[in-house]
Chains A and B, each alone.
Chain A
Amino acid sequence: MSSVIALFKIVPDDTLIRITQTGLDLNVPYKISTYDKNAIEEAVRMKEKYSLKAMGITAGVTDRKSIREALAMGLDEVVAIEMREMDIQTTAENIAEQVKGLSPKLIIGGETTTDSSGGVFIPYLASLLNYPIITYVKSLTLIEDKVRAERNLTSFTQTVESELPAIVSVVGEINTPRIPGVKQILESQKKPVKTINSTAIPKVKITAITPYTIQRKKVVIEGKMDEAVDKLLQYLKGEGVL
């Protein structure tokens, strides 16, 4: 049975990360990176529509709860590559290694992740696999041995076609990720998770992470709208922006 692969990254929940006096508090629960959930959803839709097996590959933190969520959303199996340190190159090399054994029809990833927000990972992997690549996809169809996709390139859209196997990155508007029910969550416990340990050493080293703060004035104006706007206008004139 041919397969579709969803790539996803498990990241510290960016809605919970706080800047504290001592730095960035990253000791927060993990989640599946926002647009990677769209990738999982799209892979599951492909599975339902074209009777494919839906595989998932994740690299980095292998948080069980997040992997279970991906399985509950409908992936059949997940390969989890544990990496203590990672950069784009070592991650792509490790994932390419796993893809080779699976020979999928299609690989789907998110356009960018909420932790490192690069947007270059999927193209890197495409070169390693020598697959055609379509980035920033907002709609996706399989037609026989081809994939047809609509790309959101900000100022314009492009409809493209390529042969399979291919790799795509999806944007948030492609779908709304499903929220699994109790039944799916229970079933997910029986689905296979294969864990691999990678000891690859990244060539790009992070030497420091410091909070990026811009001090905002945080002035709150309450009261009647007419008076509030007058106050605001005064402030804005004082700032020299009006």
Chain B
Amino acid sequence: MSSTVVIYSEDVDYIKTGIASTKGKTIVISPREVRLGDENHVINEIDEQLIAEYIARLKPDLVLTGSSKRDKTVAGLTAGLLRVPIIPDVIELSENKAKRVVYSGMAIAELEFSYPIVITLVKKNTDIRENPDCKIIKADLSGNSKVKVVEEKHKEGGSIDLSSAQIIVSVGRGVGSKENVKYAEELANALGGAVGGSRPVTAELGWLPEDRQIGLSGTKVKPKLYIALGISGQPQHLAGIKDSKIIVAVNKDKNAPIVENADYTIIGDVIEFCKVFAQKVKGI
């Protein structure tokens, strides 16, 4: 079958995941030159709607995108323009079958589909290298943008990529106050890890910046050690930590759902735990 496969993402790791998931000729669309695929169309700006229109004009049989927020927006728009089915957050893809996680991380759905289709992929580690014969094409995103960007605010000092952190100390409402977050930070420093938080702590209470949110809405993490401090364990949070190797919970409540979803739970005070643990780690 001669088919056109288009792979788009802002993130080169997603593009590599896309290439590893398909055979045959591929057109890679990216905001930077990545020299992947048979052709690499380099776009000059990220306007989700114009990118979707560009992809649709290529009349693809298969579109693979990343699963970042803007990637997904492009994917949905593209599928709508092409009037074809779409499957988001695919963890496994073969021929006309795909697997994805559903019900807040509690189940895996197996799906059957036909081409043409748009699929957004979950990031995987691959050993895909640059293609020296890749044809570089400057892509002109012509057309009128319907949405005008007025302002962009980036965090000072950049943001922390929780999705690749090996050790995460994560705080929930149970830490008690914004001031107490510093104990978690001290522990994270002692362990060489990053600090994240649940939705209430990041999005509602503002104890941590919003980019630290871990869960269904927010970042999905896969560290070797995840320490959940005062996090009760709502399904939306558990959905984001499922792929952690070891989960440690510290909670006053022995009946909190997190206990059932952790490898080790210490029943006790979060602040006291942070102080004692940090002290002992420094002593190792």
* A residues at B contact (CB < 8 Å): 12, 14-15, 17, 19, 24, 26, 34-35, 87-89, 92, 111-112, 114-128, 132-136, 138, 148, 152-163, 171-173, 176, 202-212, 214, 216-222, 225-226, 228-230, 232-233, 235-236, 239, 241-242
Pairwise interchain contact A214-B242, C-beta atoms closer than 8 A:
yes
Does B92 touch A at the CB level, under 8 Å?
Answer: no
Pairwise interchain contact B273-A229, C-beta atoms closer than 8 A:
yes
Pairwise interchain contact A127-B148, C-beta atoms closer than 8 A:
no
CA distance A225 to B77 in the complex (A): 53
Residues of chain A within 8 A of B272, CB atoms compared: 225
Pairwise interchain contact B260-A117, C-beta atoms closer than 8 A:
no
Pairwise interchain contact A156-B77, C-beta atoms closer than 8 A:
no
Does B73 touch A at the CB level, under 8 Å?
Answer: yes
Q: CB within 8 A of B113: which of A157, A160, A204, A222?
A: A204
CB distance from B237 to the nearest CB of A (A): 11
The winner among A14, A112, A152, A159 for most chain B CB atoms within 10 A is: A14
CA distance A158 to B84 in the complex (A): 29
Pairwise interchain contact A241-B86, C-beta atoms closer than 8 A:
no
Give the top 5 A-B pairs by smallest Cβ distance, nearest first. A127-B80, A123-B76, A120-B76, A132-B146, A173-B203
| Main DSSP-derived SS at the A contact region | mixed
Does B183 touch A at the CB level, under 8 Å?
Answer: no
Pairwise interchain contact B149-A159, C-beta atoms closer than 8 A:
yes
With contacts A88-B86, A163-B146, A236-B246 taken as known, whether A111 is within 8 angstroms of B217 at the C-beta atoms is: yes
Residues of chain A within 8 A of B110, CB atoms compared: 206-210
With contacts A136-B69, A155-B159, A204-B87 taken as known, whether A218 is within 8 angstroms of B260 at the C-beta atoms is: yes
| Main DSSP-derived SS at the B contact region | mixed
Pairwise interchain contact A212-B273, C-beta atoms closer than 8 A:
no
CB distance from A9 to the nearest CB of B (A): 13
Q: CB within 8 A of B246: which of A171, A205, A220, A239?
A: A239
Pairwise interchain contact B76-A124, C-beta atoms closer than 8 A:
yes
Residues of chain B within 8 A of A125, CB atoms compared: 80
CA distance A202 to B152 in the complex (A): 39
CB distance from A119 to the nearest CB of B (A): 5
CB distance from A209 to the nearest CB of B (A): 5
With contacts A114-B103, A162-B146, A212-B107 taken as known, whether A35 is within 8 angstroms of B217 at the C-beta atoms is: yes
The winner among B68, B97, B108 for most chain A CB atoms within 10 A is: B108
Q: Give the residues from 57 to 89 in chain B that come closer than 8 angstroms, CB to CB, to chain A.
A: 67-70, 72-81, 83-89
Pairwise interchain contact B86-A17, C-beta atoms closer than 8 A:
no
By beta carbon, the residue of chain A nearest B84 is: A89
With contacts A15-B235, A239-B246 taken as known, whether A117 is within 8 angstroms of B102 at the C-beta atoms is: yes
Pairwise interchain contact B147-A132, C-beta atoms closer than 8 A:
yes
Pairwise interchain contact B101-A221, C-beta atoms closer than 8 A:
no
* A118-B89, A206-B111, A233-B281 given; 5 more Cβ-contact pairs under 8 Å: A154-B218, A160-B148, A172-B199, A211-B107, A214-B242
With contacts A123-B77, A172-B217 taken as known, whether A114 is within 8 angstroms of B236 at the C-beta atoms is: yes
CA distance A139 to B209 in the complex (A): 16
CB distance from A134 to the nearest CB of B (A): 6
Does B139 touch A at the CB level, under 8 Å?
Answer: no
CA distance A161 to B254 in the complex (A): 48
CA distance A79 to B154 in the complex (A): 40
CB distance from A54 to the nearest CB of B (A): 24
Pairwise interchain contact B77-A127, C-beta atoms closer than 8 A:
yes
Pairwise interchain contact B88-A153, C-beta atoms closer than 8 A:
no
By beta carbon, the residue of chain A nearest B210 is: A152
Q: CB within 8 A of A220: which of B112, B153, B267, B276?
A: B267
Residues of chain B within 8 A of A127, CB atoms compared: 52, 76-81
CB distance from B110 to the nearest CB of A (A): 4
The winner among A121, A124, A134 for most chain B CB atoms within 10 A is: A124
Does B13 touch A at the CB level, under 8 Å?
Answer: no
Pairwise interchain contact B72-A159, C-beta atoms closer than 8 A:
no
With contacts A89-B84, A119-B88 taken as known, whether A133 is within 8 angstroms of B69 at the C-beta atoms is: no
22 pairs of residues in contact across A and B, judged by CB atoms under 8 Å: A12-B103, A15-B235, A111-B217, A116-B102, A117-B89, A118-B86, A118-B88, A123-B72, A123-B73, A125-B80, A135-B72, A155-B154, A155-B159, A161-B148, A203-B85, A209-B110, A211-B106, A212-B105, A219-B264, A229-B276, A232-B248, A241-B167
Q: Chain B, 86-124, contact with A by CB distance < 8 Å: what is the 0/1 string?
A: 111100000001000111111111111110000010000
Does B216 touch A at the CB level, under 8 Å?
Answer: yes
Pairwise interchain contact A241-B264, C-beta atoms closer than 8 A:
no
CA distance A173 to B208 in the complex (A): 13
By beta carbon, the residue of chain A nearest B225 is: A241
By beta carbon, the residue of chain B nearest A19 is: B106
Does B211 touch A at the CB level, under 8 Å?
Answer: yes
Does B17 touch A at the CB level, under 8 Å?
Answer: no
